[in-house]
Amino acid sequence: MIYRKKRVPTVTLERHVLHYLISNKVILQGQFSSCREEWFTNEPRFSIFVMIGKHFESSRNILTETQFEFELENLYPDADDDAKKEDVRAEYKIIKNTKPDDEPAIVIGRLNEALLATETEDLLMSAYDSLQGGDVEEALSKLKQGSLNLRKKDDKTRVVSLWEETEDWVAEIINRRDYPEQYAGILTGFKKFDECTGGLFPAELTVIFGLSGKGKSTLMKQIGVNVRKKGYNILHCGNEEDEFQIRTKYTAVETGIKYSHWKRGKFSEVELRQYKEYRDEQSENGSGKLYVYNFPQQTDATMIERQLIELKAQGIKIDLVICDYLDLMSSIKRAYNENDEGGRVTGDLKQIAINFNIPVLVCTRANTTAEKQELRERPFLTAADVFGTKRKVHSANTLIGIVNQTATVGAGERDESELKRHRLVICVPKNRDGPVFTFRLIIEVETGRVVEDDENDP
Taking only the tens place, the pLDDT of each residue in 152-202 is 544 455 677 788 777 888 888 998 898 887 788 999 999 999 999 999 999
Q: What is the reported pLDDT for 398? A: 96
Q: Are residues 116 and 248 in the same domain?
A: no
Specify whether 330 is located in the same domain as 209. Answer: yes
pLDDT-flagged residues of the chain (< 70): 1-8, 148-158, 406-419, 455-458
* Co-location of 233 and 87 in the same domain: no
pLDDT confidence of residue 220: 98
Q: Are residues 249 and 324 in the same domain?
A: yes
Whether residue 5 lies inside any domain: the answer is no
Same domain assignment for residues 62 and 123: yes
Q: Look up the domain containing 129 and give its range.
A: 11-149
Integer angstrom CA distances of residue 195 from 230, 428, 440: 17, 13, 14
Do 437 and 367 belong together in one domain? yes
Dihedral over Cα of 365, 369, 374, 380: its sign: negative
Asked if residue 338 and residue 210 are part of one domain, the reply reads yes
Residue 88's contacts (CB-CB under 8 Å, 6 or more residues apart) are: 43, 44, 47, 48, 72, 76
Considering the domain architecture, whether residues 232 and 372 belong to the same structural domain is answered as yes
The side-by-side arrangement of strands in the sheet containing 449-452 is 290-294, 234-238, 320-324, 360-365, 205-210, 398-404, 421-431, 437-444, 449-452
**Position 175 in a domain:** no
Q: Does residue 250 sit in the same domain as residue 107?
A: no
Number of domains in the chain: 2
Q: Mark which of 129, 149, 169 sits at the end of a domain.
A: 149
Let me know whether 291 and 372 are in one domain: yes
Pairing of strands 421-431, 437-444: antiparallel
CATH number of domain containing 304: 3.40.50.300
CATH number at residue 112: 1.10.860
